[in-house]
Amino acid sequence: QTTLFIADLHLSTGRPDITAAFLRFMAEEAPRADALYILGDLFEFWIGDDEPNPLHACVAEACRACVGQGTPVYFVHGNRDFLLGRDFAGRAGLTLLPEHTVVELYGKPVLIMHGDTLCTDDRDYQRFRRITHWPWLQWLFRRLPLSWRIKVADGMRNKSQNANQAKSMMLMDVSQLEVERQMAQHKVELLIHGHTHRPDIHQLTLDDRAARRIVLGDWYTQGSVLRVTPEGERLQRRQLG
């Protein structure tokens, strides 16, 4: 009885080694679990379900095969792939979840999310997020010619790369206050998220009760998989290849 969590693979055609590790994980490990949760930034970028990228078809097929074997695959959007839509989810057999979701794991309520909404100190990013989450803007952007979307995306990816290099590591980590606020609001003692690329299991005290925040790692140099069982949680590494 195991539920698996991964996030921040940032799959792109430029990193076939990460894609290979993901496909191996989807073929060998995921089908044996009760469920797989992908907590965002599965892709390095996403400009619409209509982008003819062979990587998308390959990932969709791997997810659909896993679902076909009886292991549901849930997806929470990240700050990169927030435009991933119902068309792709349908092709991949993914169940899309809201940005903050409480799931019951072996009798215990757990709050899951990508983690970018915890970075409240990063004002610039929160403004970027608010604007790009306006439904009418998403409606409009999706209808732009693909060539325009690619140009905008290249521009924004360069900008966010430069911006992030400038930002302090503190600014780009989660706000402890926001972590406690969201865990208290959802009445949970376990929070699982990604986004910061700082894998760890943090202990914290919430209303005099022991609570934990588990951060999934990115897959840039090695895979990161969280295994949740009725007995507990283990954050593990995986070789790429």
Ligand X SMILES: O=C(CCCCNC(=O)Nc1ccc(S(=O)(=O)N2CCN(c3cc(Cl)cc(C(F)(F)F)c3)CC2)cc1)NO
Give, as ranges, the residues between 40 and 59 that touch Mn ion (CB under 5 A): 41
Report if residue 172 touches ligand X, rule: CB under 6 A. yes
Judged by CB under 5 A, which stretch of 29-37, 39-47, 93-101, 175-183 contacts Mn ion?
39-47
Judged by CB under 5 A, which stretch of 9-17, 20-28, 45-53, 195-203 contacts Mn ion?
195-203
Q: What is the b/e burial string over 69-88, where b = at least 16 CB atoms within 10 angstroms of the residue's CB?
A: eebebbbbbbbbbbbbbeeb
Report if residue 137 touches ligand X, rule: CB under 6 A. yes
Place of tokens 């990063």: 122
> Element (H or E) spanning 60, and its range?
helix 54-68
Please choose which of Mn ion, ligand X, none residue 29 contacts, taking the beta carbon within 5 to 8 angstroms, the exact cut-off set by kind.
none
Longest CA pairwise span in the chain (Å) = 54
Q: Give ∠ CA 188-211-95 in degrees, rounded to 5.
A: 45
Count, residues in the chain: 241
Report if residue 125 touches ligand X, rule: CB under 6 A. yes
| 135 vs 232 by CB, closer to ligand X | 135
Please choose which of Mn ion, ligand X, none residue 103 contacts, taking the beta carbon within 5 to 8 angstroms, the exact cut-off set by kind.
none
Q: Which of 7, 60, 119, 226 binds ligand X (CB under 6 A)?
A: 119
Please choose which of Mn ion, ligand X, none residue 41 contacts, taking the beta carbon within 5 to 8 angstroms, the exact cut-off set by kind.
Mn ion
Q: Which residue, 180, 233, 236, 174, is CA-closest to 208? A: 180
Q: Which residue, 96, 90, 88, is CA-closest to 53? A: 88
Residues that bind ligand X (CB under 6 A): 45-47, 79-80, 83, 119, 122, 125, 132, 137-138, 141, 152-153, 156-157, 160, 164, 172
